[in-house]
Amino acid sequence: MKLRYSPTSPYVRKVSITAIETGLAERIERVSTDPWSAETDLGQANPIGKVPCLITDAGDAVYDSPVICEYLDSQHDGQKIIPADPDARIKALTLAAAGDGMLDAGVLLLIETVRRPAELKWDWWAERQQTVVNRCMDVADAAADSMATTDGPITIAEIAIGAGLGWIDLRFPDMGWRNDRPALADWFDKISDRLSFEQTVPVQA
Ligand SMILES: N[C@@H](CCC(=O)N[C@@H](CS)C(=O)NCC(=O)O)C(=O)O
């Protein structure tokens, strides 16, 4: 398998953590890709033009990160990151959606507040994205006591929430999300010590 990736993408990190947790990391060749480059051929594999994009051994493209994680989970016989039990599965996938939603809104917030030219900035839009980030964090905070930490089985929920918070810390170090969410802060400290998280810490490019 080949993984089209960029180094600080939190969506890529979800896939990298999943690959480690499922024992598949060694089977994946990583291909550095700049999705923002005018010259990139990424769009031929992923019409959405984003990383991560996985190319299977059969040559099929799989995107985006929730689908890649599900694909990887189907390729091993160990502990599944997406539970089989229907109730547990929906619970994990819904919490993972809150993690992805935190990221999607965080990316829009970054573009609006940092990347967009000053004269084109739209405060209403930025505030809306910040509200979404906050709400998703509140949901994660409420679930924190029931989430896996350093050891034991992990699900897609912990992977998405953990990758999301790690990226927020990288891009918005002054957001102060820990202040009102001690349970989530404590959980994030613990999950950050997990090997798959330690091995995939994003580094500022
Ligand atoms: N929903 C996608 C989001 C992926 C995404 O937004 N990737 C960013 C990098 S962090 C990207 O490739 N952006 C390029 C673009 O928006 O054109 C997923 O879960 O994989």
Query: Which residue has a Cα nearest atom 12 of ligand 1?
Result: 50
Query: Which residue has a Cα nearest atom 9 of ligand 1?
Result: 9
Instruction: Work out the angle at residue 104's Cα, subtended by the Cα atoms of residues 90 and 111, and round it to the nearest 5 degrees.
Output: 175
Query: Which residue has a Cα nearest atom 11 of ligand 1?
Result: 50
CB 102 within 8 A of CB 137: yes
Mean pLDDT of 113-140: 94
Return mean pLDDT, the chain. 96
DSSP state of 61: E
Write the pLDDT tens digit of every residue in 31-53: 999 999 999 999 999 999 999 99
Tokens read off for 60 = 């099929």
Ligand 1 center from residue 95 Cα (angstroms): 19
Q: What's the order of all strands across the beta sheet hosting 2-5?
A: 29-32, 2-5, 53-55, 61-62
Write the pLDDT tens digit of every residue in 159-191: 999 999 999 999 999 999 999 999 999 999 999
Q: Which domains does the chain have, with CATH numbers?
A: 2-73 (3.40.30.10), 86-195 (1.20.1050.10)
* Residue 167 Cβ < 6 Å to ligand 1: no
Write the pLDDT tens digit of every residue in 52-86: 999 999 999 999 999 999 999 999 999 999 999 99
